[in-house]
Structure 1
Amino acid sequence: MRMGYDLIIEQQQKLIMTPELKLALKILQLPAVELEELIQHELEANPVLDLVDDNRDEKPEVQQKQDKEEKEKEKEKEKEIDWKEYLQFQGKSYSMEGFDSDENSEFSYENFITYSYTLKDHLISQLRVSPINEKLRDIGEYIIECLDENGYLTATQEDMSEILSVDMDAVKEALGIIQTFEPFGVGAIDLKECLLIQLKNKDILDETIEVIVKNHLDDIACNRLNNISKKLSISIEEAQNYSDIIKNLEPKPGRAFEGSASTKYVTPDVYIEKIGNEYVVIINDHYGSRLMINQYYKNILNSEDKSSQASAYINNKLSSAMWLIRSLEHRKNTLYNVVKAILEYQMDFFEKGPMYLRTMTLKKIAEMVNVHESTVSRAISGKYVQTTRGIFEIKYFFKSGVDNQDGDAISSESIKKMIKNYVSGEDASKPVSDQHIADYLVKEGYMISRRTVAKYRDELGILSSSKRKRY
């Protein structure tokens, strides 16, 4: 057997992930706010890029003629770059450019500035009008600062006494005052104390319910009312009444103020508006459609006496700028086509409401738009759409579901609504089981298993039949 080395020439097709292609994919995936940050960074880093002023005056005829000549030269220069190797752009731009907007709708981050009234603000305002001395007020303010977002203490009384260099009695007195503030239940160290504070403030605390809170919360959670009835020698009806009282208490008193300290704002990437009898898709493209090549560097590039070093530098920056502009255009067109396909497929949702949301997959939209599934996934990643029915994350429209007897698919959201409606009409003394719900849905023509019903019920926050039973 002869062994040796040979040179073999063969052709292979490979997609090389160039920095430019990476940028295009990154831009496609970015939501509006992050995209604006990237564009601002590129404007600062690349002197060839410029931002067109929305309020620019109409250009005189001579200037328009010069611009036309320069655009012809630009087209010749663009031919040197093989853009077709990576992206092909078809169609026109679909953005908010060209739509009427008054001066009050001018984009500004200042329009998003707000002040949120927090749990601590609410408690401090009550503390300031309380008839107490300055010492207790100072201790009270420190205690309030030691509360988490749910209203629970994050420090012990001993720690606060030591840090403030005050006696324990003063800390206890100040804490007792705060525990009378609304929302009732703040200032507790744990759930049991939180519930007892609420019962005391509502004047419904008695010996029996105190024992239940201290020793039988697990029985309440699992609806084991027979255990409570036997151990406390009370009737099952009394146990049910106590259970109802406890379940109506708030385990997280600060919940009403939840998220107020870190308010999240959503900037829609797409708008779906109804104009007359038609729906229109508008892309939020505040910066992308206003980018252009800086006139100063155009002139240098077109001058006869430019140096080779300057020419190389400008060509490099020009290439980067053009890639950015083309990538933004590609993102805009792709996002437009994807959302337009979603609009067409989910038209019943927009016309009739959430009950008519259809099962929809990435594959289905990819086929409609004639792109790969990964492109659709990137295009909708982290993005929101403002519609006539509210603001939704675009992925909201991609729902799994079940088939009916006709072979048509119905979304999980619609099935959940049916489950919720069916459970709401049940006899509380004989709650329906998951199997019973599944049998009902099968009779209605939807092929669904008991396990799927249990999954949807959990997602709806509905307890199992054993925990829903009332005595």
Structure 2
Amino acid sequence: MAEASLHQSLSQQQTLAPQMRKSLEILQASTLELTQVVRMALETNPVLEDITESVSLDEEGPDPEEADSMEYLNETDDDWRDRSIMEGRSSPWTSEDEERRQRLYDSIVAPETLQQHLQNQLDLSMVDPDIREAAQAILGNLDERGFLDMPLKDLAVRMEIRPANMNAALKLVQSFDPAGVGASGIPESLLLQLERAEGTETIEYKIVRDHLEDLARKRYPQIAKTLGTSIERITEAASRIGRLSPNPGGDFDPTGNPYILPDVVIEKDDEGNWSARLTGEHLPNLRINDFYKDMIGRNGTDSKARQFLRDQIREGRSLIRSISLRQETILAIAHQLIKHQPQFLTKGPRFLRPLTMNDVADELNLHATTVSRAVAGKYVLTPHGLMEMRAFFATGYQTSSGEEVSNAGVREAIQQLVSQENPSKPLSDDALAKKLAAQGIKVARRTVAKYREQLNILPSHLRKSF
């Protein structure tokens, strides 16, 4: 029989204080999510009020000469109070109040973004802090389909993260729901979906891995011969592959949400200079109700009620500070976008310059993961339409003339070339690469193919019309 024994060990683990965690959640929240959080706070925290909707109270406040009232106020951090105290209840919360608040909380459903969905899974993952930081960097560089929009090794260099940690983090992200996220493109995403469903030894997996081009051209007899199976089996496999999602993040597509509101508007001021302004008018303007602050120092207030008020005021002020910090950070990032992207603002997407989150983080004295959280799910209204804030951050290339052009600029150039091509003689990926080179943009053929897929442009043989 094995002997039982006790062992003592020491270990270090990074943990976030509740206040810091809440601040990060507020920073990362989209406009709609933040609006829901604030509305819920107004419903559940009695000391909070919306200045735009507040109604003056007729109750007489404490004597302004009472010196203790400000001292009590300085000891607290938030603005919450329950109507039950006004009604003379000895206990500020009843079981029915709690039930009603919980029902309200459960009934509030904010549309979840892909970034938020993945972040929630990362928050629940028991991983080393270094792996978590690397995974956070990956989440900040996924496009709307859930694909990693730059090579993993480049991301590791730019974020100053060890390649081994980045590789482990990518495997972690690729294990998240929905299946297929974290891939470098559609082929890898399909393989990830197939691997999770039935493993790597199926006919479907082998077709996608080794015969995707033949599948696109419907060369079923050739595939069947190579794999040693029947044409009927290949046809069945093709049908199953066709039911996979080429866009794993599609269910979270923000463009399908008709209620998207920009967080920032970038426009020219009266002097012709670019300026940024927050669009916070749709957010309630919170403050702590003075009546409840004064009740803390009022003689006769029950000690439990006084402690309750202090706790609620602390939470309320914490929420107000977190929202203020969120808005300041977003605006500071917007000013950096104006500084780095004047050509884009003037001339359009073709002139979007390469820019990394590290570049902005260094100038704002922030961590790159903080910038990543801040831009997640945020939108900027520009002269060229509504854009995700993270779309401003991309790697790029240097033209033969020494100018820099971002990945988005290269995609824009490819889109323009395809739109102008002869339908009977569509441009191959190699021809597109040569035409880009003629414009001074040297891009490999496989990179052109990758960007073409991201633009949902079919290969040349499937674009040909007779």
Q: TM-score range by the shorter chain?
A: 0.5 to 0.7
* Amino acid paired to 1:363: N
Aligned residue among 391, 394, 415 for 1:396 = 391
For residues 55-454 of structure 1, the aligned pairs below 5 Å read 77-78=73-74, 222=217, 264-276=258-270, 277-286=272-281, 290-405=285-400, 408-426=403-421, 430-454=425-449
Aligned to 2:30: 31
Secondary structure of 1:286's aligned partner: helix
Q: Distance in 2 between matches of 1:75 and 1:286?
A: 33
CA pair 282-426 structure 1, distance change in 2 beyond 3 A? closer
- 2:266–2:383: 8 Å Cα contact kept in structure 1? yes
Question: 1:465 aligned to 2:460?
Answer: yes
Identity %, equivalent residues = 33
Per-residue deviation at 1:423?
4.2
Q: Distance in 2 between matches of 1:396 and 1:435?
A: 27
The aligned counterpart of 1:42 is 41
Check 1:223–1:352 CA distance in 2 against 1; reply closer, same or farther (3 A cut).
farther
Distance 1:407 1:292, change over 3 A: same
Q: What's the RMSD between the two structures over aligned residues? A: 4.1
Q: Which amino acid aligns with 2:37?
A: L
Secondary structure of the residue aligned to 1:267 is coil
Equivalent AA in structure 2 for residue 362 of structure 1: M
Can you list the C-alpha shifts for 1:419-468, whole angstroms capped at 9, x where unaligned? 34444555555544322332333343323111011122233344333344
Counterpart Cα distance in 2 of 1:281 and 1:288 = 18
Instruction: Provide the secondary structure at the position in 1 that maps to 2:280.
Output: coil
Assess if the C-alpha contact under 8 Å between 2:275 and 2:338 holds in 1. Answer: no
Q: Using structure 1 for the length normalisation, give the TM-score.
A: 0.52
Shift of 1:370: 1.8
Instruction: Quickly say closer, same or farther: Cα 1:418–1:263, change in 2 above 3 A.
Output: closer
Alpha-carbon distance change, 438 to 301 in structure 1, aligned in 2, over 3 angstroms: same
1:74–1:270 CA distance, 2 compared to 1 (3 A): farther
Pair 265,43 (structure 1): closer, same or farther in 2 beyond 3 Å: closer
One-letter amino acid matched to 2:42? L
Is the contact made by 1:288 and 1:329 (CA closer than 8 Å) also made in structure 2?
no
CA contact (8 A) 2:276 2:331 kept: yes
* Equivalent AA in structure 2 for residue 371 of structure 1: L
**Contact 2:50–2:284 at 8 Å: present in 1 too?**
no
- Shift of the 351–431 alpha-carbon distance from structure 1 to 2, 3 Å rule, reads closer
Q: Contact 1:32/1:284 (CA < 8 Å) preserved in 2?
A: no
> Aligned AA for 1:47?
P
Within 2, Cα distance between the matches of 1:72 and 1:437? 76
Cα separation, partners in 2 of 1:430 and 1:287, compared to 1, 3 Å: closer
Q: Contact 1:403/1:409 (CA < 8 Å) preserved in 2?
A: yes
Cα distance change of structure 1 residues 71 and 13 upon mapping to structure 2, 3 Å threshold: farther
- What is the CA–CA distance in structure 2 between the aligned matches of 1:428 and 1:39, rounded to whole Å? 53
Q: Counterpart of 2:281 in 1: which secondary structure? A: coil
2-structure distance, mates of 1:342, 1:71? 48
For residues 387 and 71 of structure 1, the distance between their equivalents in structure 2, rounded to whole angstroms, comes to 51
Shift of 1:14: 7.5
User: Structure 1 pair 47/406, CA: closer, same or farther in 2 (3 Å)?
Assistant: same
Q: Is the 8 A contact 2:52 2:284 kept in 1?
A: no
**Partner in structure 2 of residue 98 of structure 1:** none
Partner AA of 1:453 in structure 2 = V
> 2:203 matched to which residue of 1?
none
- 1:288 to 1:19, Cα distance in 2 relative to 1, 3 A: farther
**Do the aligned residues in 1 keep the contact of 2:76 with 2:311 (CA within 8 Å)?**
no
TM-aligned CA distance change 1:447 to 1:37, over 3 Å: same
Contact kept? 2:263, 2:279, Cα under 8 Å: yes
Q: Contact 1:29/1:379 (CA < 8 Å) preserved in 2?
A: yes
Q: Contact 2:76–2:310 at 8 Å: present in 1 too?
A: no
| C-alpha separation in 1, matches of 2:274 and 2:70 | 37
Cα deviation, residue 25, structure 1: 0.9
Q: Which runs of 5+ in 2 are unaligned?
A: 1-7, 78-213, 220-252
Q: Mind listing any 5+ residue stretches in structure 1 that lack a counterpart?
A: 1-6, 58-62, 82-218, 225-258
Count of aligned pairs:
286
Secondary structure at 1:463's aligned position in 2?
A: coil
In 2, the alpha carbon distance for the partners of 1:310 and 1:24 equals 27
Q: Secondary structure at the match of 1:39?
A: helix
Paired with 1:70 and 1:332, the residues of 2 have a C-alpha distance of: 36
Task: Supply the distance in 2 between the matched residues of 1:401 and 1:223 (Cα, whole angstroms).
Answer: 35
1:52, 1:417 → 2: CA distance? Answer: 45
Q: Distance in 1 between matches of 2:388 and 2:334?
A: 12
**CA separation of 1:73 and 1:393: change in aligned 2, threshold 3 A:** farther
User: In structure 2, do the counterparts of structure 1 residues 284 and 431 end up closer, same or farther at CA, with 3 Å as the change threshold?
Assistant: closer
Q: Deviations over 1:389-409 (max 9, x none)?
A: 322221222233222235543
